[in-house]
Structure 1
Amino acid sequence: MSKFKIHSIQSAPSDAQALLAGSLKKYGFVPNLQGGLAEAPAALQAYIELTALFDQTSLSPTERQVILLAVSAENHCSYCVAAHSMIAKKMIKADPAIVDAIRNLQPLPDAKLDVLANFTRHVVKNRGVVCAQVFDEFITAGYSRAQVLEVVLGVTLKTLSNYSNHIIETPLDTAFQAETWEEPVQCASKQCG
């Protein structure tokens, strides 16, 4: 059970109501993550604005979802892995094999996207300290220095939502139930260690 109220538009603080109404218009429902973030309207606004900024990067929709999924899996966020699996497969029509590989912590079937996922995980695991080899592999794969920073933007966005979901204990929306995710056994011992 959530430690926080998952706000509706009506129950949210007044500064969050218009933001949630925008989410309803965009998605057809108010995602529980946003209903939880509404407790702190500035946090909800930051999430929405960071999402919009990340969507303006030079990365393709599939590349953006690879980043968001890789961060979410690395941070053990079941809510975001499920949500972004659904978004990647249903909304942007990403190759399901790519999504499933990230979910299962396996190499991606696309070499360039595999480098992107590995770079992203490295950024998360090492708190932004990227070794020369990983940086060089990213550049050699065809990514730019600007895209290094765009990955950091994606990590920032997902850190906000992943950490919030952990604390809020956000219940998974019905819309994402088909993509429910439990982290693979090899990572489960990391949860509260």
Structure 2
Amino acid sequence: MSDHFSTARVSLVDRTAASGPARALLDQIHGAFGTTPNMFRAVANSPAALQSMWAAFGALGGGVVGAALGEQIAVAVANRNACDYCLAAHTALGRKAGVSGEALAAAQSGESADPRTAAVLRFALQLVNQRGQVDAADVQALRDQGLSDEHIVEIVAHVALNLFTNYVNVALAVPVDFPGVKLRPGR
């Protein structure tokens, strides 16, 4: 687990000192957030990785899963991977997307009062826990909640993107620059 006041294990690229593709992407990110979150500053050490991450956020942000459910998936995956950074960021973004604090806290444990959301969070955590080795019944549980193949593939994409961000933040000890959220014990 990372220390909120740790020093990053890679440099945090200063947007105003960056050049080329990294600068252009960091300017877009700064425009979207009104600041440049530390995670993107760390990833900016590789313009290719930053472009990949930012494009994935953009593409999935316009998908069928929607912002609220996407943030609940992110919170569940972050909690499971003990990623303080992503848990804090996606709790803030989840609230901005209209998800209640109670629903976000439940999502940390892969739970929801809504059966459809609960099925999605269960599936997301199965993907993480079983390294993708889910079976037909796990996928069918999503279909039983009215989710299409488009939803199912997009849920896998959300989990994969969150694994990318979790690994960046945990492995590279990126300092949290969002309001902290307490991890919940795993089930």
Normalised TM-score (structure 2):
0.90
Compare 125-134 and 74-83 and name the one that shifted more.
125-134
**Does residue 66 of structure 1 match 2:66?**
no
Contact map agreement 1:13 1:41 (CA 8 A) in 2:
no
RMSD, matched Cα: 1.6
State the shift of 1:44 in Å. Answer: 0.7
Contact map agreement 1:12 1:39 (CA 8 A) in 2:
no
1:109-148 paired onto structure 2 within 5 Å: 109-148=113-152
Superposition misfits of 4+ residues, deviation over 6 angstroms = none
The whole-number CA distance in structure 2 between the counterparts of 1:3 and 1:106 is: 30
Compare 2-11 and 16-25 and name the one that shifted more.
2-11
Q: One-letter code of the match for 1:127?
A: R
Identity over aligned residues, as a percent? 24
Match of 2:183 in 1: 183
Contact map agreement 2:74 2:159 (CA 8 A) in 1:
yes
1:162-177 paired onto structure 2 within 5 Å: 162-173=166-177, 176-177=178-179
Contact map agreement 1:7 1:35 (CA 8 A) in 2:
yes
1:1-193 paired onto structure 2 within 5 Å: 1-12=7-18, 14-89=20-95, 91-103=96-108, 105=109, 107-173=111-177, 176-177=178-179, 180-186=180-186
- What are the Cα deviations for residues 99-148 of structure 1, in whole angstroms up to 9, with x where unaligned? 01122x16212121111100111111112221232222111011112211
The whole-number CA distance in structure 1 between the counterparts of 2:29 and 2:111 is: 34
